[in-house]
Chains A and B, each alone.
Chain A
Amino acid sequence: MPVSKSMQLLKDDLWKNNPVTVQILGICSTLAVTNIFLNTLIMGLGLTFVTAFSALTISLMRNVIPPRVRMMVQTLVISSYVVIVDISLRAYVPDISRALGPYVGLIITNCIIMGRMEAFASGNKPLLSLWDGVLSGIGYSWVLLVIAFVRELLGFGTVLGIQVMDPLIHGLGYTGGWVQWSFMIMAPGGFFMLALFIWIANSVSGHKLTHSGS
């Protein structure tokens, strides 16, 4: 695996060409599962697993897949890994599986995965594709985790389910505790947080997005 190319992928997937902030992919789940940090973490791990192993599998098969059915094969591979994630969650962490509800099954519709299969895995060597899959998953997850951290903190006053705002407010000498920002927990809170995040991220990196996306 060429070091320079892997480093380039690292920079691109995590920041310069981040799937969420720059490519604006995977937005549906970004809005839906980011009100509780733990759920977001599991979702991120699920997506990273699916993207990484789908990329590896597609890359291994890339020279034998007939071009006209390549997308069918990609969908088949991705959905198989999604089902494996779904079954594993139901078997080993049933509470989180219930909390994530239909969103695990909907990982298959996440454009990031299909995008990486088409744009990268079907034309690159297996290890490099696996690396790209892992990084794309992490690139998606870290953005979601930052959003989830803020939404959970303001919405519930908690971090990973542990109340932190109440003690902080009492520590500052105020009474009454943290007033939960219900807005942050609901869908509009997700929209605002995501928009803010994309704004900040693109201002920092100097990206200018136009309507055509260029």
Chain B
Amino acid sequence: MWLSKGPGGRDENQNTAVHEHKTGDSMKRALTTVFFMAAVTAVFIAALAAVNELSRSRIRMNTRIQELKSVMYAFDVMPGGMREDALPPNASTGDLPWNNADLIEIRSREFILRSVPVPDSLKPLLKNSFLTTGDSVLIWIRVDSSGMPSAYGFHLRGKGLWGTIEAFAAVNADLSAMTGIDFLSQVETPGLGARISEQEFKSYFRNLGLGRFSHTASGQDGISMVRKKDASNRQVQTHELQAITGATQTCDGVLDMLNTDLRFYLALLRGASGVMQAGTEFSE
């Protein structure tokens, strides 16, 4: 008889009942926990969705404005009355006192965007490039008052020390010189490589000579960097940029990006005589 007793002195029937009761309890607890977690998650997701919805248009606008500021900088379009040489050497594009309405107005008045097909013959030029192009690339065209192109702009992509560098560059209509460049995204070391985004470094791209890209046979790089430049390219046009001390890898990355991607874009623009006709209108 004592064998049928459980450890607590209860018989087996009692034990089974207690066990079932316990199982039922833990089942109930587990379900309550799951429902609780699901409910709390739903509440927080709803709150976040609301915050996201409320700020979405503002964030989209910020991104668009930031890109437009970079495009304008590369095309050497400054906010009304602003002189570029008045900017401090460490100024970034975000510091330019643009009025958002002006930016959008100038964009629609002076710029058109074309999607230009890439011919198969030019694809080998992108072998070492980080640029991801499909069958076509986007070209920004600045037009003058008579509707003729005065400059072309496009996206560049290269490798820095820590990650990808994305830039927007513009060249003049006869493809002989650069109008300017701006770096859209980079994750280089603050104070060293990250200084590529500062005014001082970017200023050497204004009127940078592109003549070397036309004679491809020489095997020379189209653009090179020197440690110290005595005059800006605006004053005396050269094919040289001034490097940043302590940021050799970043500068090499920028140089590779320029020499690879510019060669491609210049060939494309030269080939598609009248990009205006070759491409199809692209709306953002």
Contacts and interface: CB of A to CB of B under 8 A. Distances in A.
Interface of A: 35-36, 61, 64-66, 68-69, 72-73, 76-77, 80, 83-84, 87-88, 90-92, 94-95, 101, 155-156, 180, 182, 185-186
B32 A66 contact: yes
Contacts, number: 62
Interface in B164-192: 187, 189-192
A182 B192 contact: yes
B94 interface: yes
A94 B191 contact: no
A67 to B, nearest CB: 9
Given A185-B189, A185-B192, A87 B36 contact: no
Contacts of A68: 33
Contacts of B2: none
| 6 smallest beta-carbon distances between A and B, as pairs | A185-B191, A91-B55, A94-B62, A66-B33, A91-B58, A80-B44
A73 B42 CA distance: 12
B66 A84 contact: no
Nearest to B32: A66
A15 to B, nearest CB: 30
11 contacts: A65-B36, A68-B33, A69-B37, A76-B40, A80-B48, A83-B51, A87-B51, A90-B55, A94-B62, A180-B191, A185-B190
A90 B191 contact: no
B29 interface: yes
Contact of B190 (A36, A73, A83, A84): A36
Interface of B: 29, 32-33, 36-37, 40-41, 44, 47-48, 51-52, 55, 58-59, 62-63, 66, 92, 94, 187, 189-192, 246
Contacts of B92: 95
Contacts of A88: 55
A76 B192 contact: no
B187 A72 contact: no
Contact of A66 (B36, B58, B191): B36
A87 B29 CA distance: 36
Nearest to B191: A185
B187 A64 contact: no
B48 A83 contact: yes
Given A69-B36, A180-B191, A182-B246, A87 B55 contact: yes
Contacts of B41: 76
Contacts of A73: 37, 40
Contact of B192 (A72, A87, A95, A186): A186
B191 A87 contact: no
Best-surrounded residue of B29, B44, B63, B187 (most CB of chain A within 10 A) = B44
Contact of A77 (B44, B63, B66, B189): B44
B113 to A, nearest CB: 23
B191 A76 contact: no
B48 A64 contact: no
Nearest to B33: A66
A95 B37 contact: no
A149 to B, nearest CB: 15
Given A35-B191, A66-B36, A186-B191, 14 more contacts: A64-B36, A66-B33, A69-B33, A69-B37, A76-B44, A80-B48, A83-B51, A84-B51, A91-B62, A94-B59, A94-B94, A95-B94, A185-B190, A185-B192
A68 B29 CA distance: 10
B62 A186 contact: no
Given A69-B36, A73-B40, A186 B189 contact: yes
Contacts of B47: 80
Nearest to B37: A69
A161 to B, nearest CB: 8
Contacts of A69: 33, 36-37
Nearest to B65: A94
B33 A155 contact: no
Nearest to B245: A182
A88 B51 CA distance: 9
A43 to B, nearest CB: 14
Contacts of B55: 87-88, 90-91
B58 to A, nearest CB: 5
A65 B39 CA distance: 12
